[in-house]
Amino acid sequence: MPLQNRVTPLGELIAHPARGLVYGNRGCLHDGAGRIRRTYAVKRWIACRLEFRGWRRSPLLQPGKFTELFFLDEATAFAAGHRPCALCRREDYDRFTAIWRELHPGQTGADAIDVQLHEERLSARERRLHAAELDELPDGAFVLHGDEPHLVRGARLLRWTPAGYAGAVRRATGSASLITPPSLVHVLAGGWDGAVPLLHPSSGYSEAVASSAPGSCAEAGIDFGRSSITPITAAAAAKSAPTRNARW
């Protein structure tokens, strides 16, 4: 039976047999029997390589250990609110933080980044959406279309499924409910291309190659404490929309 450790663009945890191209975690979410009991345990939500230094963890969902999560691709991980891991993706992390400093002057270090992203992805414990102009969004961003997550890909919107993208519709103009946190949309707009596949091959992007076994990177294995929350930039705050009517 599939484990409930696949992540949707809305950050929800589901059970599905299809494999993902990106690995990650947000702390220990399961109990001693491997059942998911919470949707996050720390503010440090990271996206990792599937393989790193030959490390392995078997079986998955071990008692008291972080919950191994899997994403269709990095665009899905970004939409859910995860950022590159500083351990297994150090070069990506360093480039990401350089972009971040330009967007949020004065915010330095992983703690500040994680607090900002937590503010952008959640309001209390509800998913936060943001208003955006559809024709201004970069490839890799996610929006709600017909109440379902869709990937922005050129002139089309591609419907997300756990196994890949399907059901393309034309990208229109006008406002949209943005799923991807605004700071990560800014990263995508700069032409982000990291060490893990940004887009699944079903999107028409052909460079993604799946691996059969996960690694065991654990940057988010502990709670790194609380930091004061920095407000979203004025532009992002102006675009803020009501939260999605769904409890986490």
Q: Where are the domains positioned within the chain? A: 6-238
Per DSSP bridges, beta strands 83-84 and 46-48 are parallel
Q: Are 180 and 127 in contact (CB under 8 A)?
A: no
Give the C-alpha separation, 75 to 149, whole Å: 12
Predicted local confidence at residue 210, as pLDDT: 39
139-173 confidence digits (pLDDT tens): 999 999 999 999 999 999 999 999 999 989 999 99
What are the tens digits of pLDDT across the range 23-39?
999 999 999 999 999 99
Confidence class for position 59, pLDDT limits 50, 70, 90:
confident
Give the mean pLDDT of 114-131: 95
Higher-scoring residue by pLDDT: 205, 110: 110
Which three-class secondary structure state does DSSP give residue 180? Answer: coil
Which of 54-58, 73-77, 220-224 has the largest mean confidence?
Answer: 73-77
Query: What is the layout of strands, in order, in the sheet containing 142-145?
Result: 130-133, 175-178, 142-145, 148-153, 156-161, 164-170
Q: How far is CA 42 from CA 28, 54, 66, 99, in A?
A: 8, 26, 10, 23
Q: What pLDDT, on a 0 to 100 scale, did the predictor assign at position 124?
A: 85
What is the pLDDT averaged over residues 124-146?
A: 95
Given a cut of 50, whether residue 244 has pLDDT beyond it is: no
- Give the pLDDT confidence score for residue 218 in this predicted structure: 52
Beta strand 130-133 with 142-145 is: unpaired
Rounded to the nearest integer, the mean pLDDT of the chain is 85
At 232 the pLDDT is: 29
pLDDT for position 84: 98
CA separation for the pair 76, 200 (Å, rounded): 9
For residues 167-185, average pLDDT: 96
Which has the higher per-residue pLDDT, 189 or 1?
189
pTM over 0.85: no
| Residue-wise pLDDT tens digits, 184-238 | 999 999 999 999 999 999 999 654 443 334 455 655 432 222 222 122 232 333 3
Q: What percent of the chain is predicted at pLDDT more than 70? A: 82
